[in-house]
Amino acid sequence: MRKGQVTMQTRENEVVASVHQILDQVRRVIVGKDEALLWVLAALLAKGHILLEDVPGVGKTTMALSFARALDLEYGRIQFTPDVLPSDVTGYSVPDGTGNMVYRPGGILCNLFLADELNRATSRTQSALLEAMEEGQVTVDGVSHPLPRPFAVIATQNPTGAAGTQLLPDSQIDRFALRIRLGYPAPRDEAAMIKTRQGVNPLETVRSVLTRQKFLTLQETVEATFLSDSVIDYIVALCDATRKQEFFARGASPRGTLSVAAMSKSIAQLRGRDFVVPGDVKEVFIPTLAHRMILTGRAETQGKTAEQVLKSILDATPAPRLR
């Protein structure tokens, strides 16, 4: 993710004012990661799921818990290991003593589900998340159970190749709106982090600043953001170009196209607008699609990254001029 991209304009609207309140709370815990926090919140407003990838101990789980508290969301958390079962995630049915089966909810029946170290789970358990992430429900023994609204998954994973990890399936990667890497804090921020933890857990100081219903309203506001035909055509042209790129073994899926549109709307609202401009699309295009792209062997041999190839597509695709 490129530095210094997401910024909020001074023009206030309902979304911007709420975002300031939320970030003020989360910053009590997460120091020096303002850009990453804003991307996470933009994805949540766009009804997207977030994948946090980094080495252990940089604050991935703490960030997710901070957002849950600030947004007054009921959260569930599972620490994934090879012995976690799909039923631990989705729930299971048990007999109630009268011959009937009673559903016992799994960890995912919540507003914000923290899938900690997801890539340590077996492929079968990882796949238990697919229906929930796409359709907002889980099916157990042929019966569908809707998830509470709002609903989002924030998954953390350690870098591929770390002990005990395995690749997430492509079908799951494609369901994440963003992949974010936090990185190590700057020395000054790390010192501030130590100071804020002397005699107090800063997570305990985070208070709720929005009701769940208010956050749902903000999501609906973002969803209603206007997309002109020319901007829609621009999004489609960019995503279609990924499918024709010689360095990609597979380009953006239609789900990826929809995610670019949704994230563009969210960024537009963060900038105080109720309509999307081509600049919004340019800003979200790489962060929204980079983790979904699969490079060819030739691209890897030449040392190319998905971000570099997507940047070349942005440069080669003319943006429309809005009237």
Task: Give CATH superfamily name and number for 225-316.
Answer: Magnesium chelatase subunit I, C-Terminal domain (1.10.8.80)
Where are the CATH 1.10.8.80 domain residues in the chain?
A: 225-316
Where are the CATH 3.40.50.300 domain residues in the chain?
A: 14-218
> What sign results for the dihedral spanned by CA atoms 18, 178, 260, 74?
negative
**pLDDT band at residue 159 under the 50/70/90 scheme:** confident
Q: Name the pTM for this structure.
A: 0.90
Mean pLDDT within 52-68? 84
Within 13 Å, how many C-alpha atoms sit on residue 113's CB side? 27
Mean pLDDT within 214-241? 96
pLDDT at 42 exceeding the cut of 80: yes
Domain 14-218 has CATH 1.10.10.10: no
For 277, left (φ over 0), alpha (ψ -120 to 50), or beta?
beta
Q: Residue 2's pLDDT is what?
A: 46
Q: Do 124 and 173 meet the contact criterion of CB atoms below 8 Å apart?
A: no
**pLDDT band at residue 155 under the 50/70/90 scheme:** very high
Q: Which of 139-143, 193-197, 255-259, 317-321 has the lowest mean pLDDT?
A: 193-197
Which has the higher per-residue pLDDT, 197 or 40?
A: 40
DSSP string, 19-52: HHHHHHHHTTTS-S-HHHHHHHHHHHHTT--EEE
Place of tokens 């992430």: 133
pLDDT single digits (tens) 96-131: 878 788 999 999 999 999 999 898 898 889 989 999
Q: Residue 13's pLDDT is what?
A: 76
Q: Residue 279's pLDDT is what?
A: 96
Token digits for 250?
A: 């597979």
